[in-house]
Structure 1
Amino acid sequence: MRDLGVGFTYLVRGQRWVARHGRQYGFGLLPGLITLVLYAAALVALALWGADFVAWATPFADDWSSPWPGLFRGFLTAVLFGLGLLLSVLTFTAATLLIGQPFYENLSEKVDRDVSPDGTAPESGLPLARELWISARDSLRILVRAALWGVLLFALGFVPVVGQTVVPVIGVVVTGFFLTEELTAVALQRRRVELRDRLAMLRSRKTLVWGFGTPLGLAFLVPFVAVFLMPGAVAGATLMARDLLGEETRDGDRGRDPEGDGYQDGYQDEVPAP
């Protein structure tokens, strides 16, 4: 259970890192803002026309006596919107990372350089187009897995009691796992770690993953929060990736400024008095 606290610590450290690196944080906000606008438009459309879709899909309820058609369709409409919200949470990170690949790649490299004992960051050596293709391909594979989980949880939501108690908890845990996979992928893809190996690595440290991803998934349920947490989440996931691979890391809270040669927030090496 100790890994739960360690995972959450990485999330906090990532937010602290971007708080000290304002330029990286500002650039990291742009992809999230673009994705938020697109997803918000989709959810608004679902809210406006979801009831019409449910009525079209359930013609057999037209012959039911009142008030059962309205109650039944109202319930399905609420469940449909809930499924849309769940899928938006599951896929928001993948879509944002795909849109902001160059931004987050650069941010992750800066974190690696900042906390690496020798001040270097691993590089994939692949052309940008190839990196984008691999990222899109892997994201699609993860989205398929997330969608299958979403459909399964949607179906289980109809089970009395369990659907209203256990299923939401499972949904948050599953969301946290997929969020962590997508976020750590930014750093792990630069290290040429394949998707299958990444999943095996994360499954071997489930409590660490849940400690990082579950609170992040809960926070992402709050409108706009995901946009502001994404840069720090990428930074924290980079630190976690180093842990998963057993890479040596110096104190990331007292790192060098990757934008220059100085130090952050007044931190500097102690120099003996002459």
Structure 2
Amino acid sequence: MGQLKTTGSEFLLGLRLLGRGFARYGRNPRLLLLGAIPAVITCALFVTAWIFLIIYIDEIASAVTWFADDWSDFWRGLVEFGAGAGILVVAALISALTFTAITLLIGDPFYEVISERIEEGLGGTPGAVDLPWYRTLWPNLVDSVRLIALGIVLAIPLFLLGFVPVIGQTVVPVLNAIVGGWLITVELTGIPFNRRGLRLADRRKLLRANRAMALGFGIPVFLVLLVPVAAIIVVPAAVSGATLMTRRVLGLNIEDRPVPDPVR
């Protein structure tokens, strides 16, 4: 019971850190504009892709269930429905992860500024490695590709489960949110971790030790990213929240520094 209570508290802490990220990001109009630019570009690309997917989902589902062409109308329709649902679930997982990765790559200089501003207000970045953004672009790209590849690998069994009636439409979306939330949290914390010279393995190790908090942060981000237009605000705000989470797992201050009284 105590373990369950602790897990619940950590999950809620992750949710609160996300909320605080939104609050900090929203208080600065210049950061609002700065963070929206790369997200708008990525959003336009993904909205176009989803429009085509939804238009042709019936044809795609029919093509991947070719083996059921000779079945009765009821069973063929049921299998095609499950395939269509599975394709959309997998597409949602891959889209949310790749949207975040592509937006972060496009906007790396922008989001680096946002994350650094957050840390400056909390006392700075201990252990910071001062490298220009173009020196960190390649390592960030490699880490993003590794995460996307992992997401695709994990999406395969979810896709296959989508063929199972009931389970494919109930259990699979829940698993999808958990997997997607975890991967997105690992992705979003890349900026503050990389600024300290810490790579993907370091992120995963520290976040695994705080798994409930990471899921409490990442699952809501994943769900909101399913609404493409909302992603314009969500990604930069989540970068702000991920900066707070990084400081939390590293044992650093996440509260505002007190303003000293003026000298009389």
Considering the TM-score relative to the shorter chain, is it more than 0.5?
yes
| CA drift at 1:120 | 5.5
Evaluate the alpha carbon distance shift between residue 169 and residue 52 of structure 1 in structure 2; reply closer, same or farther with a 3 A threshold.
closer
User: Which AA in structure 2 matches 1:3?
Assistant: E
List aligned pairs for 1:17-28, cutoff 5 A: 17-28=24-35
Query: Could you tell me which residue of structure 2 aligns to residue 240 of structure 1?
Result: 245
Which stretches in structure 2 are left out of the alignment for 5+ residues?
1-6
Aligned length: 257
Verify the 8 A CA contact 2:89 2:176 in the aligned structure 1: no
Q: Using the alignment, how far apart are the partners of 2:90 and 2:145 within structure 1?
A: 19
Match of 2:135 among 115, 130, 136: 130
User: Which AA in structure 1 matches 2:20?
Assistant: R
Verify the 8 A CA contact 2:86 2:168 in the aligned structure 1: no
Does residue 44 (structure 1) correspond to residue 48 (structure 2)? The answer is no
Match of 2:102 among 95, 106, 126: 95
Verify the 8 A CA contact 2:18 2:242 in the aligned structure 1: yes
Match of 2:18 among 11, 25, 32: 11
Query: Could you tell me which residue of structure 1 aligns to residue 3 of structure 2?
Result: none
Evaluate the alpha carbon distance shift between residue 164 and residue 55 of structure 1 in structure 2; reply closer, same or farther with a 3 A threshold.
closer
Match of 1:185 among 183, 190, 204: 190
Q: TM-score, normalised by structure 1?
A: 0.84
Verify the 8 A CA contact 1:43 1:85 in the aligned structure 2: no
| CA drift at 1:49 | 2.5
Evaluate the alpha carbon distance shift between residue 153 and residue 70 of structure 1 in structure 2; reply closer, same or farther with a 3 A threshold.
closer
Moved more, 185-194 or 120-129: 120-129
| CA drift at 1:186 | 0.8
Verify the 8 A CA contact 1:188 1:241 in the aligned structure 2: yes
Q: TM-score, normalised by structure 2?
A: 0.87
| CA drift at 1:250 | 4.0
Q: Using the alignment, how far apart are the partners of 1:13 and 1:59 within structure 2?
A: 49
Bigger Rg over Cα:
1
Evaluate the alpha carbon distance shift between residue 64 and residue 207 of structure 1 in structure 2; reply closer, same or farther with a 3 A threshold.
closer
Verify the 8 A CA contact 1:177 1:209 in the aligned structure 2: yes
SS of residue in 2 equivalent to 1:224: helix
Match of 2:159 among 154, 159, 166: 154
Q: Using the alignment, how far apart are the partners of 2:125 and 2:154 within structure 1?
A: 38
Evaluate the alpha carbon distance shift between residue 207 and residue 57 of structure 1 in structure 2; reply closer, same or farther with a 3 A threshold.
closer
| CA drift at 1:154 | 1.6
Evaluate the alpha carbon distance shift between residue 160 and residue 183 of structure 1 in structure 2; reply closer, same or farther with a 3 A threshold.
same
Q: Using the alignment, how far apart are the partners of 1:58 and 1:160 within structure 2?
A: 14
List aligned pairs for 1:1-274, cutoff 5 A: 1=7, 2-66=9-73, 68-116=75-123, 119=124, 123-251=128-256, 269-271=260-262
Verify the 8 A CA contact 1:109 1:121 in the aligned structure 2: no
Verify the 8 A CA contact 2:26 2:32 in the aligned structure 1: yes
Moved more, 173-182 or 120-129: 120-129
Q: Equivalent pairs: percent with the same residue?
A: 39
| CA drift at 1:229 | 1.6
Evaluate the alpha carbon distance shift between residue 127 and residue 51 of structure 1 in structure 2; reply closer, same or farther with a 3 A threshold.
same
Q: Using the alignment, how far apart are the partners of 2:261 and 2:10 within structure 1?
A: 33
SS of residue in 1 equivalent to 2:164: coil
| CA drift at 1:58 | 4.0
